[in-house]
Amino acid sequence: MTLIKKYEVTKRNLANIFILQNLLVISILFLAASNNSSKPDIIQLPPENTKTHIVKLVDSLGEVTVTLPTRYDTSFSWTVRSDCGKPCDEIKYRSQPKTLKITKESGFIWLGEPKDSIERFTISHSGYFPFHDNKDTSFIFNIHEHEKENIILDPDTYKIKSDTIEKIGDRFFSIIVIDLYDTSKAQYSKKLLAATSIKGNIISFSFELLTKGIGGATDNFINNSKFYLRTIRISNGQ
């Protein structure tokens, strides 16, 4: 075999080796991608066993769909009434574990919250809700600033840990996090407060925890609540 032919054979062999190496690398990358895609995204998995709740809001406000822990096995609604009539009334819808004390705030006689062991999810809105044609997307920024001002003035929620505006589903939500520790009572108070609007009417959502316990459930309450908040979907009122 001549030197030229030997060179051509060697060249072809090197080219084949190069192609085989590339195919091997591509195969490895493909397998790695396949393995990664087959693994569930743990961020999207519920923190615990869950159940979907459908809350029908009064009159023409539509309904709210939300995923909550199955432990939240008690749901009820009521109206917080006040002296100034329907414009000052507040309608609330609540879910919580049945093992915890049930309380219903009142504008007339209110003895205060339990001193410990609160874990609940509440939807609330005014008893008076005229529909407006303004855009809810721009309105949410006004809601956010207004909610922040009210929270800072409230002695129970005097310090904001973080706040943001996030799009969930087809609408924007004001989101405010309260994370307090009372050293005198050795008690944690954690709240995820959110709000959006339906045709100019504010709809509020709150995840609340009041406990002296420590551990995973307490430490992860805010992050878990964010997961459940992001499952909320709202059908527009008519």
Q: Do 141 and 211 share a domain, yes or no?
A: yes
Whether 214 and 107 map to the same domain: the answer is yes
How confident is residue 76, by pLDDT bands cut at 50, 70 and 90?
very high
* pLDDT, average across residues 96-116: 77
Q: What is the domain range of residue 117?
A: 46-235
Mean pLDDT of 163-191: 95
Whole-number pLDDT of residue 128: 87
CB neighbours of 96 closer than 8 A, spacing ≥ 6?
Answer: 72, 74, 102, 119, 120, 121
Query: How many domains does the structure of the chain reveal?
Result: 2
Q: What is the pLDDT of residue 214?
A: 87
Across the chain, mean pLDDT equals: 82
Q: Is the pLDDT of residue 141 over 80?
A: yes
For range 25-33, the mean pLDDT = 41
191 within 8 A of 207, measured Cβ to Cβ: yes
Nearest to 105 by CA among 117, 122, 119: 122
- Same domain for 140 and 27: no
What SS3 class is residue 118?
Answer: strand
Q: Are residues 92 and 164 in the same domain?
A: yes
Confidence of residue 237 (pLDDT cuts 50, 70, 90): low
Does residue 28 register a pLDDT over 70? no
pLDDT at 13: 54
Verify that 11 and 125 share a domain, yes or no.
Answer: no
CATH of the domain at 188: 3.40.1000.10
Nearest to 77 by CA among 93, 90, 61: 93
Under the banding of pLDDT at 50, 70 and 90, the label for residue 16 is low
| Structure tokens, 55 | 């809350």
pLDDT score of 106: 78
pLDDT confidence of 234, banded at 50, 70, 90?
Answer: very high
Is pLDDT of 11 > 60?
Answer: no
Q: What is the mean pLDDT of residues 204-228?
A: 94
Q: Is the pLDDT of residue 191 over 90?
A: yes
Q: Given a cut of 70, is residue 205 above it in pLDDT?
A: yes
Q: Does 196 share its domain with 161?
A: yes
pTM of the model: 0.78
Whether 77 and 24 map to the same domain: the answer is: no
Q: Is 186 exposed, middle or buried (0-12, 13-18, 19+ CB in 10 A)?
A: exposed
The segment with the largest mean pLDDT, out of 133-137, 216-220, 224-228, is: 224-228
Same domain for 3 and 74 = no
Is the Cβ–Cβ distance between 97 and 70 less than 8 Å? no
Per-residue confidence at 31, pLDDT binned at 50, 70, 90? very low
Examine the pLDDT at 231 and tell me if it is beyond 70: yes
Q: Report residue 181's pLDDT band, with 50, 70 and 90 as the boundaries.
A: very high
Q: What is the pLDDT of residue 209?
A: 96
Please tell me whether residues 31 and 107 are part of one structural domain. no
Q: Assess whether 152 and 67 both reside in one domain.
A: yes
Say whether both 33 and 62 belong to one domain. Answer: no
Does residue 162 share a domain with residue 122?
yes
Q: Kindly tell me the sign of the dihedral angle through the C-alpha atoms of 182, 185, 188, 192.
A: negative
